[in-house]
Chain A
Amino acid sequence: MAEVTGTGRVKRGMAEMLKGGVIMDVVNAEQAKIAEDAGAVAVMALERVPADIRAQGGVARMSDPDMIEKIQASVSIPVMAKARIGHFVEAQVLQSLDVDYIDESEVLTPSDYENHIDKWNFTVPFVCGATNLGEALRRINEGAAMIRSKGEAGTGDVSNAMMHMRKIGGEIRRLSSLREDELYVAAKELQAPYALVKEVAETGKLPVVLFTAGGIATPADAALMMAMGADGVFIGSGIFKSGNPAQRAAACVKATTFWDDPKVVADASRGLGEAMVGINVADLPAPHRLSERGW
């Protein structure tokens, strides 16, 4: 009756516990406490929120271990941290710090433009971004235990997250409508393993939890993503780049639970003060679009 750690069930199960919740980006212990008090299910510890990475430019990397440990010490909820795409040593470092989930994230500057991290080699679970079903299944094939649809992080513009949720949902619905003998070609077109394609076609959903991220700035944005079939939301710059973070954080938590009740979303939206100013994704030059990173 020995205990076994790091199993698929334990990794994917951790994401199940986050469902219906909001995961918030924080850059220090004070923000982490505000997030926990507001009802966040987890925090993402990072040095700069995406809006600042975007404004300041330069190479964005894994956070300082000291800063991650301070955040871990300050809250009782799970603490996640980001590693660069393909940077398996950053991931090993984060695992050694006992973070609860690693986000192999396009918000940081990629370290490898061909390969992602082989996530099966880790005990800690990974979440990865995806813009479409094929990308999601390739990440799951590499061992991701949770997927988040990508949006355009650090903009406060939800249009990209919306597009990717529609795309992933649409591709899943299409698979469900195919004959079994058509799934081989579907797998080829999706550039994804046949076994996973068949599983999605049969169950009508991803085999792991699907959150959404990128550009979510208001309670209504969070509710919109839940209505599109997300299991929960990541909010990055949207909270701590706004006028009243504590209130906005709590409001987004409420709207995520009661996404299907416009009265609750309306109440949550009242008197929040200034939202993050935001950038229209259409105004971003292509090289600055983070969601296009990942392959």
Chain B
Amino acid sequence: MKVGVLALQGDFREHINSLIACGVDVVPVRRIQELNGVDALVIPGGESTTIAHLAQTFEIFDEIRNRIASGMPAYGSCAGMILLADHILDAAKDQKTFGGLDIVVRRNAFGRQVDSFEEDLEFKDGFPGLLKAVFIRAPWVEKVGEGIEVLATVKSHPVAVRSKTLFATSFHPELTGDHRIHQYFVDQVARPALKKVQ
């Protein structure tokens, strides 16, 4: 399995390092040819408006949207969660997303940078112990559609959700050196999804 990390803007290098630690092949993705060579995609933290803008400018936006719609497994952290959501609140004017996850996400829901925080979280799907979660101007999930499983919450707002092929967190596992979230994506989301396709 080859995993791509969308490398237009944001902390894509940290995601690449986390995935390498999980023992998968990883490549940065900025162009369609690079996207065509990967089985799964990780969308990093960054500015969702900037990443969407660059994806449109370099004509990779529609292709990512199509691949996700046709079942490519993907994981998004923070800005990545926003980009995987079907609907967003407090968006910039005309802000577009790749979509795929039937959720409503509120941007910067926890507030501005002075409200950014860390918290030890319980992650529902089979982690022993707590997970150090870092929230930076983070979004939360305001509403989930059918078939969406909520894996973690903060103050009763979902901050980790998944469907069959897609996974998103409001927080940044790439900043903590704890690779369990990436391992979860690789083993519990991407591999089973790809197996079904074959």
Whole-angstrom distance between the Cβ of A249 and the nearest chain B Cβ:
11
Report the Cα distance A77→B57, complex, angstroms.
Answer: 19
- Give the shortest distance, in Å, between B90 (CB) and chain A (any CB): 7
B-side contacts of A5, CB under 8 Å = 114-117
**Cβ 8 A contact of A253, one of B50, B92, B107, B135:** B50
Contact indicator per residue, chain B 1-34, by CB within 8 Å of chain A (1) or not (0): 0000001111111100000000000000010000
What's the Cα separation between A18 and B91 when bound, in Å?
18
Q: Is the CB of A6 within 8 A of B45?
A: no
Q: Which residue of B lies closest to A254 (CB)?
A: B57
Residues of A within 8 A of B121 (CB): 1
| A13 contacts chain B at the CB level, 8 A cutoff | yes
A257 touches B130 (CB 8 A): no
A3 and B118 contact, Cβ closer than 8 Å, known pairs A20-B46, A257-B9? yes
Question: Is B125 in the interface zone, CB < 8 Å from A?
Answer: no
Contact residue among A2, A38, A100 (Cβ-Cβ distance under 8 Å from B112): A100
Q: Are A21 and B50 in contact, with the CB atoms below 8 A?
A: yes
Q: Report the interface size class on chain A.
A: 35 or more
Interface residues of A (CB under 8 A from B): 1-7, 9-10, 13-14, 16-21, 36-42, 75-78, 95, 98-101, 123-125, 250, 253-254, 257-258
Residues of B within 8 A of A (CB): 7-14, 30, 45-47, 49-50, 53-54, 57-58, 78-79, 90-93, 95, 107-108, 111-122, 130, 134-137, 154, 172, 175-176
13 contacts between A and B (CB under 8 A): A1-B119, A14-B116, A14-B136, A17-B46, A17-B79, A19-B10, A19-B13, A21-B46, A78-B47, A98-B112, A98-B114, A123-B114, A258-B58
